[in-house]
Structure formats: structure tokens, C-alpha cells
Amino acid sequence: MFFPLIAQAPPQQIVRPQEVRPLPAQLDTVPVFNSNSPELIGTPGILLSTFPPAGMAQPEAHLDFAFEGRFDVFAHHVYKAEDPEDPDDLSSMYVAILVHNPGVDPVTVNVLSGASYLSQPDAPFIQLPSMVPFPAREPVFAGPGSRVMGDLIQGHRQASLPAQLVVAPGASTLLMNAPIPVAELDPPINGRSTLMQLDSSGPVYVASLAESANVDGNGTETAPILAQWETLLQNSGVAGPRDRTPTPITDNPEQIIYGRVAGVAQGSSWTATVTDEDNGDTAAAGSLTIPASGEAISYGISTLYGGQLSTGQNQSAQMLVRYDDTAYQAHGNYGVEYNLTFPLHNPTDTPQTVTLALETPIKEDRLSTAGLQFFEPLPTQTFFRGPIQVRYRDDRGLPLIRNIHVVQRRGQQGAPLATFTLAPQENRRVEIILRYPPDSTPPQVITIQTQ
């Protein structure tokens, strides 16, 4: 029997009239070693080096930036085996994080938290529902960036990472030396995401490097040793192929090429308590008045140049140093923690049911309508994939911590992360914690809606 194919209706834009507000506060000043270009490693070389250029074979590959105290290391790269001269070569690509002490005293680097996962087999990109609650010890994830962010939200340090490094004067040490294997995969492509929170007792330089595995006559792979990494750092240029060159930031952007990030960004977390005072209203000091019945307000998450949703706020971390052919800002804020508190207040004399949701509206710099726009039905592109933690007291007054994995497509309205009923004149705090996951596409919003 013949069944005719039924074509899906093209996505239609719908408008939800509402207010969109800038997020109060700002990024902190913690520097982030941000290694994401080239995303796809084709040839070995330097992914990112903050070493001084003096004495290096290719000085333009070194950005001369020393870290001291708190800093983060973020690295997100993909490897695909496609050597036209040797198509049968399916050896792994190794990625290393090298730390160097330029001083005359030992330096201690503490790994406060961190994780590094492969796409295969650690965290494959499986299809998940839009929302999946999960207990803290049984995380849900889809993709390595999603899994890494889940570990960091919980404050974990992966067992494979050292708790501490002691770097001798004038010496270098490997913080990480990990493979991206492809031999068992079809097609032979794999990725690795890494994020670490570090604290250094003295100045250090850091480099992320890519090199093929050592393979002996029996086909056995071993990791490049420290001396090989030091030689590569000394003699190599930047790895290839290079990503698309970004367009300069202007006041009137047309087509924007953001580019991938390779440099040191300023800002690892955004901590804010959202109140009416941030919107110029002091009627209920220290609290946030919920929207009127049937209305909503939203606060931008990872808004960016060309995607500010009429907030006038670009949340992208500024680059302290960068390679000339990479992103001008850390668009997307991959790995940045948003720690947001909403002290909600019901000013009415009747109970009000309130929801909080993460949403992915259609990207606009200035809203072309009197609210946010969404698609219905949804297109196929996934724009957000990662864990969110919500903390509040439920309607029984009991403390509740919810871990929820969220997947959203472009233009998707969000299902509630939390739903509760505020009594007349009641105040209730809600905390939302998320780390912006790699492979996501900004901007998003946190929406507070009164039913």
C-alpha cells in the first residue's frame, strides 16, 4: 500500500509580547585560557600559547600572557582523520596542556575542579527530550561539553586530573596529555572538551598543543612525552587549518562572522541577584516583583554583539590577548558560570503561580516586534544542550535542588524549570546555576512568567 509523504509545515514566527531586561552585574575579572580555534584540528601544532615569543621559531604563535592566582583553562577541539597522502592513518591526535614556571621558586598549581571528556565513548551526541531531570550522582548528558558542564556545576574534579601540580623553577609540566582517538569510529571523527578551575601560587605560562600519537612498528600508540611537546612548542606554528576569519566589530553589523576563540578572555563567572532596583523601581527593595497575571519578563543569557535582544547588553567576555585571525570577543561565553538569584515577590492579595524557564528566542540585536519571537513548529537545529541547576523552596516550604538537562532548538519556548505558587505578599528566592555549554548557539533568556 502506498502512503504519501506528509511534508512538515515550515516554521512560522510567533510573537510573545513582553519585556526583555539586561542582566544585572557583570562578568568577574578571572582570566580564562580559551582554546577553541581551530575547532577542527587537521595538522599538529600550537593551538594556543601564552608563552613569551622571545627565542621561539615562530614568535607570532605566542601571546606573552602570564597567569597568577585564579584562572581557568577551557579547550574544545575536534579531530577528523583525513590525510589524503595516507588515508589509512587512523592514529590518535593528542592534545596537551603545558604549564611553565618562568620564576626562580617552585610554583604550586591547584586544580580546584575540572573535567575532560571525549565525544566517543564518554559522551556521545544522543537524542534527548527537551527536559530530563536527573539526580546529582547520575548525570544526564549529550555531548562532551554537556557532560563537562554538569561536572563543574557539581564542583567535581575528574579522577584523571591531578589535584595539584608543583612546577620547578624554569621548568614545564603537563597538566593534561590526552588522546582524541578515531580508529574505531565511522566516520573517523571525535572531539574533546575540557574545563578546569585553577589557582597558581606564582606566575605561569600555559600552552595547548596538538600532536599525533607515537606509533611503533606493531601499530601500538603511545602519548608524546614532555620533551616532544616542548620541542613542538619551540619550533611549531599555529595548528591548521585555520577557521574563518572574523569580521571586525562595527556599529552597523550586516553579515557577522564571529570566528572561533583562541586567546585569553576576561571573565569566568557572572553572579547576580536580580531585583526591581536594577530596573529603576524601588517599590519592593531587595526583591523582584513578579509579572502581572498572564505576563512575562526575560533576562538575557549570553547576549552578544549582533544578538542583544534590545537589552543594549553584550555579555561576551573581552579578549585580553588573541590571535589576529580569531574572534574579537569570547562570543558564546563557553564554560562561563551564570549564578543567578531571583528574590521573587508577590505584591498582590491573591496567590500567584509562577514559572521560571530557559528559552532560546530567535536572535535579534534590536527586537523588531513588541516582544520575543519563537518558531512553531520548531526547526531542526539544536541551539542549547546542557545541564541547569535550580534551587528553591517548594510550596511545602521544603528546600529543593533540581538538576535538569535541557535541549532546545532555535526559537524554542522553554518548559518550566520550576513552578510554584506564591501566597499574597510572599517572598521566595530562586537560584539558577548554569555553565554555558560548548556547541550551543546564543543568545538565550531566563523567563519569569505568572500564569
CB contact at 8 A, 390 and 401? yes
Confidence category of residue 303, pLDDT binned at 50, 70, 90: very high
Q: How far apart are CA 31 and CA 138, in angstroms?
A: 31
- Give long-range contacts, CB 8 A cutoff, 24+ apart: 141-144: 141/387, 141/405, 142/385, 142/405, 142/407, 143/119, 143/193, 143/385, 143/437, 143/438, 143/439, 144/117, 144/118, 144/119, 144/191, 144/192, 144/193, 144/438
Please give the pLDDT value at position 1.
Answer: 46
Q: How far apart are CA 72 and CA 149, in angstroms?
A: 13
Condensed to tens digits (0 to 9), the pLDDT of residues 348-399 reads: 999 999 999 999 999 999 999 999 999 999 999 999 999 999 999 999 999 9
| Placement of cell 586544580 in the chain | 111
3-state secondary structure (DSSP) of residue 234? helix
Condensed to tens digits (0 to 9), the pLDDT of residues 156-177 reads: 999 999 999 999 999 999 999 9
Given a cut of 70, is residue 8 above it in pLDDT? no
Confidence category of residue 282, pLDDT binned at 50, 70, 90: low
Q: What share of the chain is helix, strand, coil (3-state, %, to 5)?
A: 5, 45, 50
Condensed to tens digits (0 to 9), the pLDDT of residues 187-225 reads: 999 999 999 999 999 999 999 999 999 999 898 999 999
Given a cut of 80, is residue 281 above it in pLDDT? no
Given a cut of 90, is residue 125 above it in pLDDT? yes
State mean pLDDT over 6-19. 85
CB contact at 8 A, 284 and 422? no
What is the percent of the chain where pLDDT is above 70?
96
Rg (the chain; Cα; Å):
23
Confidence category of residue 252, pLDDT binned at 50, 70, 90: confident
